[in-house]
Amino acid sequence: MKLISVILVYFMICLGAEITVTQSANEYALKYSDSTMFRILSFRKNETDNIFISLHYTLGYKSEALAHEILYIDTLWRIAESNIEIDLTSADIGYPMEFPDVIRNYIDTFNRSKIWQAHVKAKKKELNYPLMHEIIYEADIYRPFSRLLEKYGYKVASVSSEKHGFILKSDLRKFGFKGNEIIPMPFMLYWKLEKIKP
């Protein structure tokens, strides 16, 4: 992965892309941009601390796949860790609909979940946050990201979310499903992290 990151930086330079760094009292942000799009990886902390505890990833365009973004996150993270002290307790890289590879896996996971289907049978379109979080966590839906976390010595301890709804029939069909599936959608998804014990 280190060689891939070096190659990626080389291609960034060749393609006219640039990485800019900004820092405030509580945020260290790296922005990868070219003439058509941007990505921002930021690390946040309390103003009184020196250690950055939260990771946030933002896209200024529609992603091809989370697996594709991991190379950029990894490259920007490497730059950051040589300049700031990082000890993460949380992360936010976007909700499932932002990544075509994640959303297909996400829908399929809820379709196959016996406990979610039992909930739908009993409650129809009623949100159950603890159940949603359990399914997302247990299925490791964001596997490319969880593998990257492991590389840096972290694991996902739990999941939380905000701003919920259900996936639209048109979106379900767009991703190859029938359209009548009842699939909850958190529009903000957070990962609580822990250090992997040696």
Residues of the chain with pLDDT under 50: 1-8, 10-11, 13-14
Same domain, 86 and 103: no
Domain boundary among 77, 93, 109: 93
DSSP string covering 121-188, please? HHHSS---HHHHHHHHHHHTTTHHHHHHHHHTTEEEEEEEEEEEEE--HHHHHHTTS-S----EEEEE
Residue 146 · residue 155 · CB < 8 Å: yes
Count the domains in the chain.
2
Same domain, 105 and 31: no
Same domain, 24 and 111: no
pLDDT given for residue 63 in this prediction? 87
Residue 187 · residue 162 · CB < 8 Å: yes
Domain boundary among 62, 93, 124: 93
Residue 72 · residue 94 · CB < 8 Å: no
Same domain, 57 and 133: no
pTM for the predicted model, two decimal places:
0.87
Range of the domain at 80: 1-93
